[in-house]
């Protein structure tokens, strides 16, 4: 089953892959419209904080002129890591949708679950095969 917002996040992930970045993309949605989009740029910026989720949330907060993402949904192609999940906890979007589970560093149920017991709605496995394939193909090309 496809999801139009996850499809847009996948397009962002593809941009990251084309740049030699780990292919993770994210979009932030408010009122059923994409407010911002981003992809990983950790290598290009030499910045460990430049994850797609961090970038898209930062831009959205600036656009909205607030410190909370109430009424928003975050779509990301890979399960957020602990750092990004911490930022999600602080920014408080209503919902988080992710594609591929990350059994090594996922913090929304893959490795650990930092959102368990919180008021967040979290949905994993959205277009999982497509998101996983992007990552698998990218890492195979490096070997």
Exposure string (b/e) for 3-36, b if CB count within 10 Å is 16 or more? eebbebbbebbbbbbeeebbbbbbbbbbeeeebb
Active site residue 21: no
- Per-residue tokens: 22: 């780990």
Distance between CA atoms of 87 and 97, rounded to whole angstroms?
A: 15
Q: What is the CA radius of gyration of the chain?
A: 14
Helix (H, G, I), strand (E, B) or coil at 107: coil
Which of 43, 53, 79, 121 is catalytic? The answer is 53
Distance between CA atoms of 53 and 34, rounded to whole angstroms?
A: 14
- What are the residue numbers of the active site? 53
């Amino acid at each position: 089953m496809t999801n139009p917002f996850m499809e847009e996040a996948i397009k962002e992930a593809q941009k990251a892959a084309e740049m030699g970045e780990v292919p993770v993309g994210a979009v932030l949605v408010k009122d059923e419209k994409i407010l911002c989009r981003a992809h990983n740029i950790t290598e290009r910026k030499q910045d460990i904080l430049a994850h797609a989720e961090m970038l898209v949330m930062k831009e959205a907060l600036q656009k909205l002129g607030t410190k909370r993402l109430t009424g928003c949904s975050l779509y990301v192609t890979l399960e957020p890591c602990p750092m990004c999940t911490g930022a999600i906890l602080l920014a408080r979007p209503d919902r988080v949708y992710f594609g591929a589970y990350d059994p090594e560093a996922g913090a929304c149920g893959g490795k650990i679950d930092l959102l368990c017991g919180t008021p967040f709605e979290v949905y994993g496995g959205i277009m999982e095969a497509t998101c996983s394939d992007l990552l698998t193909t990218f890492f195979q090309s490096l070997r």
